[in-house]
Amino acid sequence: MRLLLNAVVLVLALLPAPCGAWNGPGHNVIDLIAWEQLDEATQASAVALLKAHPRYEQHFLGRMPENVWSGSPAEQEQWLFAHAGAWPDLVRGRSDVVTDDDVRRYNRPTWHYINLPVFLTPADRDVLAAGLKVNRSTDIPDDRDAYSINVVQAIGNALRIVRDEEAPTQDRAVHLCWVLHLVGDAHQPSGATTARRMREGRAGSAAAKPRGAAAAGASGRRPNARVARGPASPGPPSPSGRRR
């Protein structure tokens, strides 16, 4: 499994790609790194909890590769832990193992991101801040299955449920997957979005097309990039004393 991890890291490092959200292998690598930081007792507890997942047979065993099936128990446990971190993306849409009911029950689109504005000037803040519709709260809601929370709130909520030994075991298993997934999402490299998307409260940077050098491609041409700003600040005085 260590050889597999090294190979995946090497492939991710060498393949050029547009700046975007983590994909399945990206989450797998993140979670394998986390796995190696855990002691054996914690690893065993995590695997035991994941096996209580309500869709364990369909979404986990049903996706286990043949080479892992034929591998050692230790390799299978590593794979289960790594796959758990990609599971919330698996249930975004219907597939060979995911039903429409799975999507309705488990998909939480806004849990994957948070939109935090960066204003270029204080004038921009004055003009734009009041019109932003995005959820920037970091408060953990009382409702443990709140649908429209952001990634910061969702991480806190998922940790609360995983740590609650009185919570249903299946719920704790589902939210362990969310913890593993969302910590990766919160550190993904496409951490910016356009001002227009911010104003409209749209779905984070993962859905935004890259701009600048990443979007220029092999031609090296820089695409037009617009940044929403507040009122233009006066330029430096001209030699005549007038503002430009």
Q: Which two tokens stand for residue 30?
A: 């993140």
Answer whether 0.85 is exceeded by the pTM: no
In-domain check, residue 157: yes
What is the C-alpha radius of gyration for the chain, rounded to an integer number of angstroms? 22
Is the Cα torsion angle 15, 67, 71, 62 positive or negative in sign?
Answer: positive
Residue 231 lies in a domain: no
Q: State which residues form the domain around 111.
A: 2-12+20-209
Q: Domain tally for the chain?
A: 1
To the nearest 10°, the Cα dihedral for 51, 53, 58, 61? -20
Q: Classify residue 214: in a domain, yes or no.
A: no
User: Does a structural domain hold residue 235?
Assistant: no
Is residue 237 domain-resident? no
Residue 119 falls inside a structural domain: yes
pLDDT in tens, the chain (244 residues): 444 334 333 333 333 444 445 688 889 999 999 999 999 999 999 999 999 999 999 999 999 999 999 999 999 999 999 999 999 999 999 999 999 999 999 999 999 998 888 888 999 989 988 888 888 899 999 999 899 999 999 999 999 999 999 999 999 999 999 999 999 998 875 544 555 554 555 455 555 554 443 333 333 333 333 333 333 333 333 333 333 3
